[in-house]
Amino acid sequence: MDLLVINAAEVRRLMPMASCMDAMETALKQLGRGEAQNPLRSANWLPEKRGILLAMPALTDEAMAIKVITVMPGNHGTPYDSHMGAVILFDAQFGRPLALMDATEITAIRTAAVSGVATRLLAREDAGDLAILGTGVQARSHLQAMLEARPLRRVRVWSRGGENREAYVQWASDELDVDVEATESAQAAVTGADLICTTTAAAEPVLRGAWLSPGTHINAVGASTATTRELDSEAMAMLCHFVDRRESALDESGDYLIPLQEGEIDDDHIRAELGEVLLGSAPGRRSDDEITLFNSLGLAVEDLASAQLIYREALSLGLGTSVEFGETVGE
Q: Where are the domains of the chain?
A: 2-107+300-324, 124-295
Is the Cβ–Cβ distance between 233 and 258 less than 8 Å?
yes
Closest CA to 148 of 112, 190, 179, 175: 112
Q: Can you give the pLDDT at residue 329?
A: 64
Which three-class secondary structure state does DSSP give residue 260? helix
pTM of the model: 0.94
Which three-class secondary structure state does DSSP give residue 204? coil
**Strand 129-133 relative to strand 52-59: parallel, antiparallel, unpaired?**
unpaired
Length of the chain: 331
Reduced to 3 DSSP states, what percent helix, strand and coil does the chain have, rounded to the nearest 5? 40, 25, 35
With a pLDDT cut of 70, the percent of the chain lying above it is 99
Measured torsion, CA atoms of residues 23, 29, 32, 36, in degrees rounded to the nearest 10: -50
Q: Decide if domain 2-107+300-324 falls under CATH 3.30.1780.10.
A: yes
Cβ count near 298 (within 10 Å)? 22
Closest CA to 97 of 196, 2, 229: 2
- Rounded CA-CA distance 157/108 in Å is 18
Q: Can you give the pLDDT at residue 55?
A: 97
What is the CATH number assigned to the segment(s) 124-295?
Answer: 3.40.50.720
For 45, half-sphere exposure in the C-beta direction (CA atoms, 13 angstrom radius) is: 6
DSSP β-bridge partners for residue 226: none
Chain Cα centroid distance, residue 233: 22
DSSP β-bridge partners for residue 54: 43, 69
pLDDT under 70: residue ranges of the chain: 329-331
